[in-house]
Amino acid sequence: SIVFSECVKETKKNQATLTDKIDKIILNRWLSFPILFAIIFAIYESSIVFGYKLTNYTWPLLAAIKNFVVDITPAADIAKVPLITDAAIWLVNSAVALLNYLPIFFILFAMIAILEDVGYMPRMAFILDKIFKKFGLHGQSTLPLVLGGAFVGGCAVPGVMSTKGIADDRARMATILTVPLMNCLAKVPFYTLLLGAFYTTTTVAADGSKSIDTSQMSVMMFYISTVTMLSALLIAKFLTSTILKTRETAPFVMELPPYHLPTFKGVVIRACERVWLYIKKVCTIVIAVAVILFALLQFPGLSSEKQEHYASEEAKALANFDMAAKKSSYYASVDSREKVARLLNFYDGYKAKKMGGGKGVDEQYEAENPEFYKFIMPKSDQDAKAINSALRKLSTQRKTILREQKNDKIESSLLGMAGRALEPVSKFAGFDWRINVAFLSSFAARESAVATLGSIYESGKAAEASSGEEMRPEEAMRQSSGYTPLHAASIIIFMLLTPPCIATMIVVKMQTNSYAWMAFGIFFPFTLALVVSSLFFTLANSFGVGGLTAMGIYYFILLFFVIILGFMPQKRQNWSGGVKK
């Protein structure tokens, strides 16, 4: 019939389709793994490295938001910041430290959406099953590991939840306990912060333009991703050979779909949806944690001796300014504490706007207060120059006082005392109390680690947010932490193996129906992370090995053990829990 002839097309028997032809290359026993590693490296190169360069364009926008918050909050005194201003700046710093990496996430999510639409994800499971079964995992473990962040940018919660469909009980339990080791979305800003601080080199050209060398950063990101997977394989092998040995097993069966061309609209929509979910998480969970952390950092506050010390330092700075200003004919404009405070905030606000690249800043500030503007841009007026010189010295002294005051307050706070209490143990891994505070905060939500560091290491940001020195978080950490690339590598290794967040632990309890397994999921990786990072830092520091070299050595040690275990003969399974004789 006409309908039959129009709708039915006869194909030749045994004729290879386009999908079959592509699979002969993609699934080739010799080419499949090089192709897989090339895809992973391409994802990191395009999202982490290129995306990081794009943050140079987003940072000025976020800095403008911070300046806006400073403008609308109560102005700072000579060397005191109102509590509401301090809290507002802390919350903005916490959010901005994470929102700065949106370009990275958008590219990353777009790349993953392309792989999903093309149909490569199921084939990746098929390829990795050959390796996974050597370590007690399963081909069906691939999806949970990918969701958890095998590519970087996942989440352990859906990763653990997706293990429910794994028929192999032994592999399912091993997968549940290894998914939290993946590079979840919340870890990416933390890695980027450390790598941007210690594994990039900025060169300033003669014309003032800056260029950033990210070659070391690219290599480190490759190490991070592969070390994560290598560690997961070794841990899974250990677990399935010991405490999970008696659990039942089952074979791996999967259907490979045909290849499809992704649509631009579909990729963009899915990338935007995932970015929006990330933004909502930053605006809810992370801000909530930031509020709690801010409260813990305020109490019990500075001692009376410290308060008297800073009051004395403030009085000295103000007296020095007054002595210099008296030589100027404009002294009447700055002859009181209130006038000096207004001038200082005016000067700092001007610097912040100028460094932010705003247009018409000079015209705006000259129109707002012509006399104060004269002190900022004195030109040939000698009396105005005298005020300008004294003002710049006072601004520097103010920054120093506020920075020291902030550091003392954090150190003496409840959270600071907890971080200090852990230093005798964490010092072997190269951590100071600030890193301990960041890790304590990350147990509630991983994003809080970078948010906390972004706030702590922003050199007295309550002062400098209004002083114009809008440093990126990684620049502030590099200048004020006293760390080296080796410290950063040790911190990264600890984060790679550190216990998951509270939400993941709740899901682990739901999937295993056991509080004992939930407790094991917390204490086992925490202990392992502390031991491994301590050995890593202590040995590398003893032999004078740098961060990048030490990370490479660590990577190849793990790779060696994975290869050895991978080539060991496996006993045939009868898929009912026993071994086929």
Q: What is the pLDDT of residues 485-526, one digit of tens each?
A: 999 999 999 988 886 677 678 778 888 888 899 899 889 999
Looking at the structure, do residues 193 and 113 belong to the same domain, yes or no?
yes
In a domain, 75, yes or no: yes
Say if residue 247 is in the same domain as residue 143: yes
Count of domains for the chain: 2
pLDDT tens for residues 407-416? 788 778 888 8
What are the structure tokens assigned to 568, written together? Answer: 């060991």
Same domain for 435 and 309? no
Chain centre distance of CA 318: 40
Of 379, 411, 443, the residue that ends a domain is 411
Looking at residue 255, its pLDDT comes to: 77
Residue 214, domain member (yes or no): yes
* Residue 8 in domain: no
* Whole-number pLDDT of residue 153: 62
Q: 321-337 pLDDT, tens per residue? A: 888 888 888 888 888 88
Q: What is the mean pLDDT of residues 567-579?
A: 59
- The Cα–Cα gap between 104 and 88 comes to 26
Domain that holds residue 361: 304-411
Residue 340 lies in a domain: yes
Give whole-number Cα distances, 450 to 104, 153, 192, 427, 458, in Å.
15, 15, 9, 20, 12
Within 242-286, residue ranges assigned H as helices are 264-281
What SS3 state is found at 579?
A: strand
Exposure pattern of 417-433 as b/e (b: 16+ CB <10 Å)?
eebeebeeebebbbbbb
Work out the percent of the chain whose per-residue pLDDT is above 90.
13
b (16+ CB within 10 A) / e for 497-509 = bbbbbebbbebbb
206 shares its domain with 236: yes
pLDDT tens for 200-243 read: 877 666 665 666 777 788 888 888 888 888 999 999 999 999 99
- For residues 150 and 266, membership in a common domain is answered with yes
Same domain, 312 and 277: no
Question: Averaging pLDDT over each range in 3-7, 351-355, 385-389, which range is the top one?
Answer: 385-389
Question: For 419-434, what is the mean pLDDT?
Answer: 88
> Is 421 part of any domain?
no
Residue 21: inside a domain: no
Residue 441 lies in a domain: yes
In this prediction, residue 457 carries a pLDDT of 65
Domain boundary at 378, 411, 444, which? 411
Q: How many helices (H) and strands (E) does the chain have?
A: 28, 2
Same domain for 84 and 101?
yes
Q: Say if residue 403 is in the same domain as residue 513.
A: no
Under the banding of pLDDT at 50, 70 and 90, the label for residue 537 is: very high
Q: What is the pLDDT of residues 56-100, one digit of tens each?
A: 788 778 877 877 887 787 777 777 777 888 788 878 877 776 677
278 and 308 fall within a common domain: no
Name, of 380-384, 419-423, 436-440, the range with top average pLDDT.
419-423
The predicted-structure confidence for 448-497, as pLDDT tens digits, reads as follows 677 667 666 654 444 444 444 455 666 767 766 678 899 999 999 998 88
pLDDT of residue 84: 84
Q: Is residue 93 part of a domain?
A: yes
Same domain, 284 and 373: no
Q: Are residues 266 and 354 in the same domain?
A: no
Query: What global pTM score does this model have?
Result: 0.68
> Does 202 share its domain with 309?
no
